[in-house]
């Protein structure tokens, strides 16, 4: 009997792929609040507190590993008014990391073994116990060597979990979005972008009829998304100075306050704006972050903006999210929700992808 090994190989590949896909589909989605980080760490590596002679609380043991983990994941986000950290960190004792809580989305598991003769090792696994989950495991023979090692990986570790959070948010946006506003965006700017269902109130007062602006406009806080484009003139647009200049010009003309001398601009005095390059799906994306403020007014808040070159139409597309939440001490979740939305921006030449592939340049 003759066997067609090529067809057999294709069949086995298809069966394996389908089985893996079916297993992932049957998995429950990961749990936990967005941007919460859970570190599985033995009690002996956590701080112990006592009181000094004056009754003040102080740490009485050395915890280099605990300190490094918190320094990595509670690192301050860029351009935030209250120094919001990348993640809110909680620790879990290994004996408590059981089935009921293994589905948490962002997990770091620490393994210290004095008999381990190798250098520190960090591994990563997706969908370990739940769909969309990221689990990072760390191995070392002592806490000091691991503490030193993870500090060399801190940007990569943060970016790994940020990317996972963005992809989870994008998955939710694909199911829960403001379709009518997305259609209006396509008509105005000939681009597609997922708009959160809650942010669907049309902004008013824009001078440019093609300026896209939506908001939720709650009484105590508000989230805003804007999309606009300008002709591509030169590469200076994709610099900090060039991007800020265009942003200020367009926002001044289209988002104004209660009086003619009030308009949205970029804060350049307290929290300085920052610009960096991203790679999203193989495409260059400029990221501009900073604080906006109302000129001659009291309103202010953080913003994040993506710049894309539309080569077909010889223009640069700006997609921005900004918030006003004066009574919120932690504004991370609001700006991150908008950030996930602008990650879905697609130009006429783009191909839609099931997952947003992101490379964050160091």
The pLDDT score that the predictor gives to residue 245 is 98
* Bigger pLDDT: 321 vs 207: 321
Q: Percent of the chain having pLDDT more than 70?
A: 90
Question: If we measure between CA atoms, which residue out of 306, 289, 317, 304 comes closest to residue 356?
Answer: 306
The mean of the pLDDT values for the chain is 90
* pLDDT-derived band at 99, boundaries 50, 70, 90: confident
The three-point CA angle 24-105-113 to 5° equals 100
Q: Are residues 164 and 214 in the same domain?
A: no
Instruction: Compute and round to an integer the Cα radius of gyration of the chain.
Output: 24
For residue 354, pLDDT over 90 is answered with no
- Is 13 within a domain? no
Give me the count of residues in the chain: 362
Tell me, yes or no, whether 219 lies in a domain.
yes
Distance of CA 86 to CAs 13, 117, 157, 193, Å?
A: 39, 33, 11, 25
Task: Report the C-alpha gap between 284 and 309 in whole angstroms.
Answer: 8
| Structural domain ending residue among the three candidates 172, 204, 231 | 172
- Report, as an integer, the average pLDDT of 72-101: 95
CB 84 within 8 A of CB 331: yes
User: pLDDT at residue 246 above 90?
Assistant: yes
Contact between residue 79 and residue 85 where contact means Cβ atoms under 8 Å apart: no
Number of Cβ atoms within 10 Å of the Cβ of 165: 21
Shared domain check, 351 and 229: yes
- Structural domain including 72 reads 25-172
Beta-strand (E) ranges in the chain?
Answer: 36-40, 49-51, 57-59, 88-92, 106-112, 121-126, 134-140, 201-202, 212-215, 222-231, 264-266, 274-280, 283-294, 300-310, 315-324, 358-360
Q: Which of 172, 191, 226 is the last residue of a domain?
A: 172
CB 315 within 8 A of CB 231: yes
Q: Classify residue 320 as exposed, middle or buried by CB count within 10 Å of its CB (0-12, 13-18, 19+).
A: buried
Determine which of 16-20, 97-101, 171-175, 256-260 has the lowest per-residue pLDDT on average: 16-20
**Looking at the structure, do residues 309 and 219 belong to the same domain, yes or no?**
yes
Assigned domain for 271 exists: yes
Q: Is residue 256 part of a domain?
A: yes
Q: What is the pLDDT of residues 297-311, one digit of tens each?
A: 999 999 999 999 999
Q: What is the pLDDT of residue 205?
A: 85
4-25 pLDDT, tens per residue?
A: 433 434 344 444 444 455 555 6
* String of DSSP letters for 47-68: --EEE-TTS-EEE-S--HHHHH
Q: How confident is the model at residue 332 (pLDDT cuts 50, 70, 90)?
A: very high
Of 177-181, 305-309, 352-356, the poorest mean pLDDT is in 352-356
Burial class (CB in 10 A: 0-12, 13-18, 19+), 224: buried
Query: Which one of 149, 172, 195 terminates a domain?
Result: 172
Contact 107, 94 (CB under 8 A): no
Assess if residue 1 is contained within a domain: no
The reply to whether 150 and 195 lie within a common domain is no
Of the pLDDT bands very low, low, confident and very high (cuts 50, 70, 90), residue 357 is low
Residues 71 and 53 in one domain: yes
Token pair listed for 50: 């006592």
């Amino acid at each position: 009997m003759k066997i067609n090994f090529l067809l057999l190989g294709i069949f086995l590949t298809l069966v394996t792929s389908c089985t893996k896909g079916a297993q992932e589909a049957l998995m429950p989605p990961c749990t936990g609040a967005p941007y919460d980080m859970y570190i599985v760490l033995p009690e002996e590596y956590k701080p112990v507190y006592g009181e000094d002679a004056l009754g003040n609380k102080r740490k009485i043991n050395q915890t280099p590993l605990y300190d490094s983990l918190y320094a990595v994941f509670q690192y301050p986000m860029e351009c935030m008014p209250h120094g919001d950290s990348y993640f809110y960190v909680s620790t879990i004792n290994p004996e408590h990391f059981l089935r009921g809580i293994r589905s948490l989305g962002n997990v770091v598991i620490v393994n210290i073994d004095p008999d381990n003769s190798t250098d520190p090792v960090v591994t990563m696994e997706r969908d370990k116990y739940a769909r969309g989950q990221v689990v990072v495991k760390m191995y070392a023979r002592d806490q000091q060597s691991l503490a030193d090692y993870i500090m060399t990986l801190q940007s990569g570790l943060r970016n790994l979990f940020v990317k996972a959070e963005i992809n989870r948010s994008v998955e939710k946006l694909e199911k829960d979005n403001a379709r009518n506003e997305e259609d209006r965006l396509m008509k105005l700017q000939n681009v597609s972008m997922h708009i959160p269902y809650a942010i669907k109130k049309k902004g008013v007062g824009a001078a440019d009829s093609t300026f896209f602006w939506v908001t939720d406009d709650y009484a105590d806080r508000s989230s805003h998304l804007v999309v606009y484009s300008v002709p591509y003139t030169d590469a200076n647009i994709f610099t900090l100075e060039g991007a800020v200049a265009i942003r200020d010009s367009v926002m001044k003309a289209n988002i104004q306050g209660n009086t003619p001398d009030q308009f949205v601009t970029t804060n350049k005095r307290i929290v300085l704006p920052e610009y960096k390059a991203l790679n999203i799906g193989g495409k260059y994306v400029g990221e501009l972050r900073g604080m906006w403020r109302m000129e001659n007014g009291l309103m202010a808040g953080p913003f994040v903006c993506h710049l894309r070159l539309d080569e077909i139409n010889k223009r640069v597309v700006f997609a921005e999210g900004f918030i006003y939440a004066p009574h919120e001490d932690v504004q991370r979740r609001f700006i991150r929700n908008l950030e996930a939305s602008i990650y879905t921006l697609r130009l006429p030449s783009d191909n839609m992808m099931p997952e947003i592939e992101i490379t964050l340049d160091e």
